[in-house]
Structures are given as structure tokens and as C-alpha cells.
Amino acid sequence: MELILLIIGTVFVNNIVLSQFLGICPFIGVSGRVNTSVGMSAAVAFVMVLATIVTYIIQLLLDKLGIAFMQTVTYILVIAALVQMVEIILKKVSPALYSALGIFLPLITTNCAILGVAILVYQKEFTLLPAVVYAFSNALGFGLALITFSGIREQLELANIPNGVKGVPIAFIVAGILAMAFMGFANIV
């Protein structure tokens, strides 16, 4: 039951994008089309869960060696190396999946939501299973917000919007309204 509450709370109430404001760059930049948002969401989910597992293990090593202050630098290097490794493996093993993910894999290297989740796992002192569930839930929440937002943005292209707020300004207004809508879930957990 505790893991279910963690999932619901992470996806809806403490959404990584709409509540904690991590991953805003891809949220605004990649949300023009639903199909690109789905691809980005899948790539983020895969890398976020994998990076959380690897950084969890590395954090144990950093703590044991007494160099926990190297956490952020180490995490950044691990995430960048992990994304490169995943890209190389996918290119050889599954060219179709590699081409489907396309540009999204290199973009994930600079996604602060990946780093943020890895650091939050450490700060919340999760064990491995809750850490993986937390990472997957954050990826789900990121995907839900991104795909919902991109669907709204596609519909906005058909709407009659004043010239002064077309493009990014209306996107920020809609993002704010979407964040307030997600705040409505606060009393669930």
C-alpha cells in the first residue's frame, strides 16, 4: 500500500515537472507534437529508472569511501555515460528502437529531471525498491504532463489566439493552468 501511495503521490501530487519544476526545457521544447512527446517520455522513463539504479549503487560506494560531497559531479558523469552507453547498445542491438528514439537520447543527457530524481532518491533515503518505484513514477508523471501538454498545444494551433500571446507565452499560461489542475490531486494522498 505504501508503494501505491508513493506512485499516486509522485505522478499526480508531486509531479516532477508541474510541482517541482524539473525538466522544464523538454516540457516546453519537445511538447509541440504528441508523437514526439511520447518518444521523449519513453526515453526519459528508460533512462530515469536505469540512472536511479546505477546512481543508487554508486552513492553507496561514495558513502563508503567518505566522498559523498562528489555526488552531483559523479551523478552527472554517470548519467552522461549511461545515456551514451544506451545509445551505442541500442544502435547495435535494435536499430528500429534506436531510430524511433532518435534525437531524444542525447537530449536526455541534459535533462535536469534525471539528475533531480537521482538526488531526491538519496535525500529521501529510499531503499532500492522504493527508489526504482519513485523513479518510474516520476517518469510516468513526466510523461503524463508532457503528453497532456503537447495535446493541448496541438489544439491551440487551431484556436484563434491573439498575436501577443501566440507561441511560448500561451504555452506558459497553459502550463500554469495545468500545474494548478494537478494541484487538485493534493488531497488524494
Tell me, yes or no, whether 1 lies in a domain. no
160-to-7, 151, 154 alpha-carbon distances in Å = 38, 16, 13
So what's the pLDDT on residue 115?
A: 93
pTM: 0.87
Task: Please write the tens of the pLDDT for every residue from 10-69.
Answer: 999 899 999 888 888 878 877 778 887 888 888 889 889 999 999 999 999 999 999 999
Report whether pLDDT(189) > 70. no
Task: Please write the tens of the pLDDT for every residue from 84-142.
Answer: 888 888 788 878 777 766 677 777 777 889 999 999 999 999 999 999 999 999 999 99
154: containing domain? 17-187
Sequence-ordered alpha helix ranges (H) in 24-94: 24-29, 34-65, 71-93
Tell me, yes or no, whether 10 lies in a domain. no
**CB-based contact 188:8 (threshold 8 Å):** yes
- Enumerate residues 6+ apart whose C-beta is below 8 A from 70: 62
So what's the pLDDT on residue 48?
A: 92
For residue 19, the one-letter residue type is S
Tell me, yes or no, whether 28 lies in a domain. yes
Total tally of structural domains belonging to the chain? 1
Tell me, yes or no, whether 150 lies in a domain. yes
**CB-based contact 16:26 (threshold 8 Å):** no
- Helical axes 128-156 vs 112-123, angle rounded to 10°: 150
CA distance 8 to 185: 9
Task: Please write the tens of the pLDDT for every residue from 65-80.
Answer: 999 999 999 999 999 9
What is the Cα 68 distance to its own chain's centre?
A: 24
Tell me, yes or no, whether 169 lies in a domain. yes
Tell me, yes or no, whether 172 lies in a domain. yes
CA distance 58 to 47: 16
Tell me, yes or no, whether 3 lies in a domain. no
Tell me, yes or no, whether 7 lies in a domain. no
Arithmetic mean of pLDDT, 148-164: 90
